[in-house]
Amino acid sequence: MDNCQANQSIKCTVTQCKNHCTSQDYCSLNCVQIGTHEPNPTMDQCVDCKSFMVKG
Per-residue pLDDT at 3: 78
What DSSP assignment string belongs to 1-56?
Answer: ------EEEEE---TTBTTB-TTSSEE-SS---EEESSSS--SGGGEEETT--B--
pLDDT at 2: 64
Tens of each residue's pLDDT in the chain, 56 residues: 467 999 999 999 999 999 999 889 999 999 999 999 999 999 999 999 999 999 98
pTM above 0.75, yes or no: yes
Rounded Cα distance between 23 and 41, Å, is 32
Report residue 45: phi and psi, to 5°: -65, -15
